[in-house]
Amino acid sequence: MKSARPEEEEKERYSMEKISTSFELYGKEYRLETGELAKQATGAVLVTQGETTCLVTAVVSKEQKDYDFFPLTVDFIEKMYAVGRIPGGYLKREAKPSDKGTLTARMIDRPIRPGFADGFKQEVHVVATTLACDGQNPPDCICVGGASAALLCGGTPFDGPAACVRIARDKETGEFIVNPTYAEQENSDLELTIAGTRDYISMVEAGAEEVTEEDMLAAMEFGQQAIAAFCEKQAEFLAMVAPEPKEYPVHAADPCIAERVNAHFDEMSAALKDADKLSRMGKVEELKASIKENDFSEEEREAWKSDIAAACKALEKQAMRAMVIETGERADGRSADEIRPLYIRPGYLPRVHGSGLFQRGQTQALSVCTLGLLNEAQRLDTIDPQESKRYMHQYNFPPYCTGEVGRMGAPKRREIGHGALAERAILPILPSEDEFPYAIRVVSEILESNGSSSMASTCGSTLALMDAGVPIKAPVSGIAMGLIKEGDDVVILSDIQGLEDFLGDMDFKVCGTANGITALQMDNKAKGLSTEILGRALQQAKEGRAHILSAMLGEIAEPRAELRDTAPRIETIHIPVEKIREVIGKGGETIRGIQDSTGASIEIQEDGTVHIAAVEQEAGRAARAAVEAIVKEPEVGEIYEGQVVGIQTFGAFVKLTPSKDGLLHISRVANGRVGQVEDVLNVGDTVKVEVIEIDPKSGKISLDRLDKPEAPEGSAPAPARAPRGEGRRERSDRRPGRANREANSGDGRTPRRRH
């Protein structure tokens, strides 16, 4: 018989010591824990800010993959139980990630990816799961630190610690706030998310209300200091954990591969010097194919397949960077700060509410604007407090835009990210709901792509909004900046194309108006990137944005004064809150009837604000008149043409408004004595009346008929009722059985009485 293990051994087998630390930074409470949850993962950390708690796990595969890229996957899982809600929809289960969830996964991925060593080819999977959200502290930034800690706790070859912070700026005091609550962010004119290590910045995202370049740079410098503080706290936690570094193989290619490939440096440099993207790509691919065919045997090609591909890619990168550093000339012949040729056409499409075609070099975006009622805003089912958004920007990147074959389907992470960046850039310049009570959707179709398609989308969207007549506060333009850094040699590139994005060190997108920045996004591969270099890039971007904006304003100087004929016109009126139910009617019957009869759309808000939308102005006016008629309170002296809806012996009831009737007394239906109301009026007749009295207590309305007819001859009063007690015998005689009883009463018998 098998003996039972001692209780202590069982605990040791299935658990390990929980290690945790709590700390305060910049007025917020944080906590890091490991050792209790998800112990079969390579590394797992529970990270908390306030009461917002996320579990971040990292798993490294046991075998290497023969890829020419680093196979890192990051997933952010929003659990609705974290905010005490049941998911919407039929399944009542979390399904595909929300757009916000996808953006958060990208936000965790981007600062972590550069921290792994070149040649590390084992798959890494990072999963961040929201366990509890307090509705005050967002979970995204702490998940970056949690991912870094999980990787390091697992002993992976990751260059950390890394951290991420969000920087806000109080509108009133101008003070910077680190990792603001949702409420603190509401009172901020800046939302800067910045990630990196103690030594360098790897990722930046920002939305701002036309913040100057100098203020943005100051926020970045402050953010870098905050990142260093969080990295220090993470290092203290890791010292408590004391993880054992694990031996992971880092793949190194045979040196002879690079020697043979690099012998073709001059040929690669020549192939790259072509302004046309497809032509250049054709020449480069032809050269790569020639190298593989002529410099390697069939056995070597089979054995070194991914290594040869990586060496050819490295040669292309080396040749492109050397061209820029040594000659100052780019692959398409431009100088470092030169913008590609622009082609701009607002109002490109007929019938749509607004459109704009924006082309920069071989990147082309067609943006289309659609206007709708506020109730058409997008409802959000996420763990964030935001329940809906009125402005929706969507970005599509079909395979044909790069001359490729592919499958069309749901938007990928990149498309969601680019759409979110353009949306963030436009949001600060949109009019308020009170000024412009519309839901706004802009769709950017990328028709050609050779770099900076998200910035073309931003510019095209500005054109579409202005063409639609949306009274934006200021037009927005955008530009993508690049960086080539070799040692101390640094070249900042304006308006980068795809080649410079893939093979360069930085992709820095900046959007804004003539007054300041509204959005930016940066991914960095150069570990020596300083705020001084970022400052130079921001200034060069400002000059490029101004050039592009000037060209846009040359085609459309301001938003059009009128909406397109195909766009709905929205009128706004306010009704008393207590009248909302009357306008809606039982089961929505009244409001549906108005919409069906007029063709207009009606939206009623809780405060009594009513938005009436119709393409045809006459339909809008009719719907407005119908709503106003329902809520109208008659006043003495007002004249109405109403329908007779009821008749009594004392008069007729006339409908003045859908919810109000008045009494037209019999003495006022005609000139002269009228015996019965029906001699003059019938139900359904239309009569013109004037309000002569309103009872202040009961609200009953008395009417007088205008243009009274003469009383008809022979109109006599209705027969008078018999006095009480008279005629009872006659009436009783008609009751069943009574006639026989009374007939028999003459025989001297007394009728029976019932007791």
Residue 579 maps to which CATH number? 3.30.1370.10
Residues 581 and 599 in one domain: yes
577 and 672 share one domain = no
Domain of 648: which CATH number? 2.40.50.140
Query: Which residues are annotated as part of the binding site?
Result: 501, 507
Q: Residue 638 — left, alpha, or beta (φ > 0 → left; ψ -120 to 50 → alpha)? A: beta
581 and 466 share a domain?
A: no
DSSP SS3 for 334 = coil
How many domains, in total, are found in the chain?
5
**Within-domain flag for 738:** no
209 with 159, same domain? yes
pLDDT at 716: 62
Going by the annotation, the residues of the binding site for Mg(2+) are 501, 507
* pLDDT value of residue 225: 94
> 309 and 380, same structural domain?
no
Residue 250 lies in a domain: no
DSSP labels for 431-481?
PPTTTS--EEEEEEEEEE-SS-HHHHHHHHHHHHHHHTT---SS--EEEEE
Domain end (from 327, 357, 385): 327
Sheet holding 609-614, edge to edge: 569-574, 609-614, 601-604
Instruction: Say which CATH number the domain at 264 has.
Output: 1.10.10
Residue 336 in any domain: the answer is: no
396 and 533 share one domain: yes
**Residue 433 shares a structural domain with residue 298:** no
pLDDT at 121: 82
Task: Give 28-66 pLDDT, tens digit per residue.
Answer: 999 999 999 999 999 999 999 999 999 999 999 988 777
| Same-domain status, 581 and 676 | no
519 and 398 within one domain: yes
Q: Domain limits at 669?
A: 639-705
Residue 715: inside a domain, yes or no? no
Give the separation between CA 543 and CA 470, rounded to whole angstroms.
Answer: 26
CA trace torsion 90, 96, 101, 105 (10° rounding): 160
Helix (H), strand (E), coil (C) string for 243-287 = CCCCCCCCCCCCHHHHHHHHCCHHHHHHHHCCCCHHHHHHHHHHH
- 173 lies in the same domain as 287: no
Predicted local distance difference test score (pLDDT) of residue 737: 47
- Residue at 721 is within a domain: no
Domain boundary among 293, 327, 361: 327
All residue ranges of the chain with pLDDT < 70 are: 1-16, 68, 528, 715-755
Residues 157 and 231 in one domain: yes
Degrees (nearest 5) of the Cα angle 729, 733, 738?
120
pTM beyond cutoff 0.75: yes
Is there a domain that residue 746 lies in? no
> How much is the pLDDT for 718?
56
Tell me the C-alpha distance between 14 and 106, whole Å.
34
Give the pLDDT score at 503.
Answer: 87
Task: Among 607, 631, 655, give the residue marking a domain's end.
Answer: 631
* CATH number of the domain within which 492 lies: 3.30.230.70
**Rg over CA atoms, the chain:** 39
710 falls within a domain: no
Q: What is the pLDDT of residue 11?
A: 53
How confident is the model at residue 731, as a pLDDT?
Answer: 44
pLDDT at 171: 93
Clarify whether residues 516 and 367 are in a common domain: yes
Q: Is 753 within a domain?
A: no
